[in-house]
Structure 1
Amino acid sequence: MRQWMGRLHRWLGILVSLWLVLVALTGTFLLYKTELLQWQYPQLQLAELPSTATAGAVFDLYDTGYAYLPRVDKPWVEVIDGDGNSHYHGVAGEHLLTRPALGDWIDIAVQFHHHLLLHDLGKDVMGVLSLITLFILISGIVRWWPRRWSVRLWSVRWHWPWQTGFQMTLYQFHKTFGIILLPGILLGAVTGTAIMYAASVSGSLTTLLPQQDQRWQPATTAVQALNWNERLQAAEKIFPDMTPALVSLPVKPDGTVSMRLRYDGEWHPNGRSSLSFSTTTGELATWSDTRNSALGYQLSQTIYPLHVAAVGGLPLFILLLAGGIMLILLPVTGVWFWLWRQRRKTSTVRV
């Protein structure tokens, strides 16, 4: 069993090594997306947050795509139009910057990490490769699991690449730090895979945990809101304990526009509750409070926040960062060690 798992671990690892390095590298960079944007575009270094009223006025300028309200980790008004271009507005609603779709390395990294720049096809491919990665991790644990435990299991003898013992350093580093940092590695890999199969995961958890609590109701439904400022103000009256986080700009076929809201303490940075308003009468058309949803659905909505370290503070951030770095180094050290063994075998045969 161990030998069979070891062979699968090796060959599958070689197969997905390049993809895994690139996905882990882009994912690790994206933990610092706001800082990278502000470094590349200094005009985004705002001293204060734009107001909700300013955001509403900006939203009225667009009729395609979706938009984010300003928050501490994204201190600007951001609109992504129907072509994927990102528009940024400042404290007074002034236009700061437009980033064309795939116009810089940051957006290329984002789109590659999400779907390999291939949209729906890329998501399907990412899902399969993510499942293979989980199997590689499991097989690595099985292959490493010792028959006898000792302190030597955690040792790494360091040699430089030009020294004779470097191949052993590669091997020991690969297995030892792969196990030490396994929690962060698994957190990133498992949540990333679950995101690729979000609908199936959410449906399965909802079936397993269907319990619901229907005590949450809107404070009022009597509103009339015909522009985005009025809709944002209406949202505060309907759900006074929630904050609007994201709006959908196009008018839907049923003549409504919608927004998502986040309740106090919710993990998801964009919230999962929603409101929609008629664009002709301004009346509230539909509403949903995610706290009324099945327990399984609510649990499924914690996956994304865990994947992007939106919760847990600095400890979870460090855990994910360490796991991401190790997901880069695991395929590098593994393939390097395999190439060294192949070279050694070739040299032995020639002799």
Structure 2
Amino acid sequence: MKTLDLLHRWIGGVIGLILAVLGFSGALLLHKDAWILLPHASDVQVQGTGVIAATVERIMADPATRPEMITFAGPDFGLNRLRFADGTGAYTDQAGNLVTRWNSQWERPELWLFDLHHHLFAGDTGETVIGVAAIAGLFFVISGILLWTRTRKTFEFRLVPKRISRPAILRHHRDLGVVAAPLLILAFLTGAILVFRPMAALILGPTAPAQIDASLKAPKAPVVRLAAKHDWRAIIEEARIRFTDAEIRSLSVPRQGSGLITLRMKKSDEWLPNGRTTLWFAADNDRLVKARDASRLPEAVKIYNMLYPLHAAKVGGLSYRLIMTFAGLALGLLGTLTTWSFWFPRKGAARSVSRLAGMQR
């Protein structure tokens, strides 16, 4: 137990601040649809085929200014989001009218907060660090539960410590941690699998990573240039004919050497906000290349597609969001106070340690 306690404290002291950042930023992101205060943000979602087709035609009318991706309004957020190839973006209402535009993610708090939570402002390197932190977090929770058993008779749940002293913080850390443990395991495990696909093999079986890669990969198609004009209405109508009961969630033009226009839809039994039901159209003539029904994906892939909604509380409504908010705030508090108590002990405590060391000499 001494070795386990030592590992728990030292690893926590090193990455506790990263976990705190993930916890607090995650808690804020759970409610971003509520705190983005823009005109029409609370509009009721419109999914009429004619309305969406007309909106796409309007947004995509000028090849020189059209975005590379449109994410359509959802049940909880009434604006379309546009992403442009140069990294800029915009929100429009559901008729295609511009609401606001930005030239940098720093102009939109929901964007830089998302980048912080997913990449630590460091791209792929930051994402890898987050994945490692999530795996370490699993160790913290499991080891913390084992260490808590030694002091379980003194359990007392508190949202904050009684006082800002090392003994009070340690007691609060143990008791709050064991209460939040199931939710933290869920958050860390889903986060680690989303960052490191091979982690899925531990939960979904050894063949799961290969199945996921194959099922989410776009079909092979010739790399062709995007035509200047498209029959966007025909594309939307084709999608509606194929998947009548599905929401139209996003439309993207080819990028990174692809020759395909991608349309994502969400069927009623899917948890992912943007769904995995996908249609691909040739970029030069709008010919349907392939349609993939998410309900027919392998079971391991279906489970994998549930991980992000569970991690980000995109299912379960307000009740589950509040539960995961508690988990995020608990992680933020645990990480912050752990880092502070590990690296910045009280002067009185430090003097006591020094006096004790002197007496032993």
- Normalized against structure 1, the TM-score is what? 0.83
Q: Which residue of structure 1 lines up, in the alignment, with residue 215 of structure 2? A: none
Q: Which residue of structure 1 lines up, in the alignment, with residue 334 of structure 2? A: 330
Q: Which residue of structure 1 lines up, in the alignment, with residue 217 of structure 2? A: none
SS of the equivalent of 1:140 reads helix
User: 2-side partners of 1:261 and 1:269: how far apart?
Assistant: 9
Alignment of 1:201 with 2:200, yes or no, is yes
Alignment of 1:316 with 2:312, yes or no, is no
Q: Which amino acid aligns with 1:346?
A: R
Relative to structure 1, is the Cα distance of residues 64 and 56 closer, same or farther in structure 2, using a 3 angstrom cutoff?
Answer: closer
Displacement of 1:101 after TM fit?
2.7
Q: Deviations over 1:86-114 (max 9, x none)?
A: 21111432111112332233322111111
Alignment of 1:94 with 2:108, yes or no, is no
RMSD of the TM alignment (CA)?
2.8
SS of the equivalent of 2:328 reads helix
Contact persistence 1:8–1:136 (CA under 8 A): no
Displacement of 1:49 after TM fit?
3.8
Relative to structure 1, is the Cα distance of residues 286 and 137 closer, same or farther in structure 2, using a 3 angstrom cutoff?
Answer: same
Displacement of 1:59 after TM fit?
4.3
Q: Which residue of structure 1 lines up, in the alignment, with residue 225 of structure 2? A: none
User: 1-side partners of 2:90 and 2:130: how far apart?
Assistant: 28
Q: Which amino acid aligns with 1:89?
A: T
Instruction: Give the one of 146, 154, 157 matched to 2:156.
Output: 154
Alignment of 1:43 with 2:47, yes or no, is no
Contact persistence 1:28–1:324 (CA under 8 A): yes
Q: Which amino acid aligns with 2:192?
A: T
User: 2-side partners of 1:133 and 1:190: how far apart?
Assistant: 9
User: 1-side partners of 2:304 and 2:161: how far apart?
Assistant: 42
Q: State which drifts further: 252-261 or 74-83.
A: 252-261
Q: Which residue of structure 2 lines up, in the alignment, with residue 216 of structure 1? A: none
Q: State which drifts further: 180-189 or 264-273.
A: 180-189
Superposed, which structure 2 residues align to 1:226-241 within 5 Å?
226-241=230-245
User: 2-side partners of 1:287 and 1:199: how far apart?
Assistant: 27
Q: Which residue of structure 2 lines up, in the alignment, with residue 277 of structure 1? A: 281
User: 1-side partners of 2:346 and 2:3: how far apart?
Assistant: 19
SS of the equivalent of 2:105 reads coil
Displacement of 1:48 after TM fit?
3.9
Q: Which residue of structure 2 lines up, in the alignment, with residue 220 of structure 1? A: none
Q: Which amino acid aligns with 1:344?
A: A
Superposed, which structure 2 residues align to 1:68-147 within 5 Å?
68-104=71-107, 105-146=109-150
User: 2-side partners of 1:189 and 1:326: how far apart?
Assistant: 13
SS of the equivalent of 2:289 reads strand
Relative to structure 1, is the Cα distance of residues 185 and 284 closer, same or farther in structure 2, using a 3 angstrom cutoff?
Answer: same
User: 2-side partners of 1:324 and 1:278: how far apart?
Assistant: 43
Relative to structure 1, is the Cα distance of residues 7 and 114 closer, same or farther in structure 2, using a 3 angstrom cutoff?
Answer: same
Displacement of 1:238 after TM fit?
1.2
Displacement of 1:180 after TM fit?
1.1
User: 2-side partners of 1:199 and 1:289: how far apart?
Assistant: 24
Structure 1: state its 5+ residue gaps: 212-224
Contact persistence 2:73–2:94 (CA under 8 A): no
Contact persistence 1:246–1:259 (CA under 8 A): yes
Relative to structure 1, is the Cα distance of residues 27 and 131 closer, same or farther in structure 2, using a 3 angstrom cutoff?
Answer: same
Alignment of 1:55 with 2:43, yes or no, is no
Q: Deviations over 1:155-214 (max 9, x none)?
A: 5696444xxxx4433222111111112222222222112211136527973645799xxx
Relative to structure 1, is the Cα distance of residues 10 and 348 closer, same or farther in structure 2, using a 3 angstrom cutoff?
Answer: closer
Superposed, which structure 2 residues align to 1:182-201 within 5 Å?
182-198=181-197, 201=200
User: 2-side partners of 1:141 and 1:350: how far apart?
Assistant: 33
Instruction: Give the one of 305, 311, 315 matched to 2:309.
Output: 305
Relative to structure 1, is the Cα distance of residues 262 and 207 closer, same or farther in structure 2, using a 3 angstrom cutoff?
Answer: farther
Q: State which drifts further: 305-314 or 101-110.
A: 101-110
User: 1-side partners of 2:171 and 2:289: how far apart?
Assistant: 61
User: 2-side partners of 1:110 and 1:325: how far apart?
Assistant: 16
Displacement of 1:52 after TM fit?
1.6
Q: State which drifts further: 7-16 or 332-341.
A: 332-341
SS of the equivalent of 2:270 reads coil
Q: Which residue of structure 2 lines up, in the alignment, with residue 222 of structure 1? A: none
Structure 2: state its 5+ residue gaps: 212-228, 357-361
User: 2-side partners of 1:35 and 1:254: how far apart?
Assistant: 35
Displacement of 1:347 after TM fit?
3.2
- Normalized against structure 2, the TM-score is what? 0.81
SS of the equivalent of 2:155 reads helix
Contact persistence 1:8–1:139 (CA under 8 A): no
Q: Deviations over 1:48-101 (max 9, x none)?
A: 445423432244145553221111222111111123322111143211111233
Superposed, which structure 2 residues align to 1:217-228 within 5 Å?
226-228=230-232
Aligned residues: percent identity? Answer: 23
Contact persistence 1:127–1:197 (CA under 8 A): yes
Alignment of 1:178 with 2:180, yes or no, is no
Relative to structure 1, is the Cα distance of residues 83 and 264 closer, same or farther in structure 2, using a 3 angstrom cutoff?
Answer: same
Relative to structure 1, is the Cα distance of residues 83 and 139 closer, same or farther in structure 2, using a 3 angstrom cutoff?
Answer: farther
Instruction: Give the one of 70, 74, 83 matched to 1:67.
Output: 70
User: 2-side partners of 1:98 and 1:146: how far apart?
Assistant: 56
Aligned length: 328
Contact persistence 2:42–2:78 (CA under 8 A): yes
User: 2-side partners of 1:252 and 1:265: how far apart?
Assistant: 31
Displacement of 1:239 after TM fit?
1.4
Q: Which amino acid aligns with 1:31?
A: L
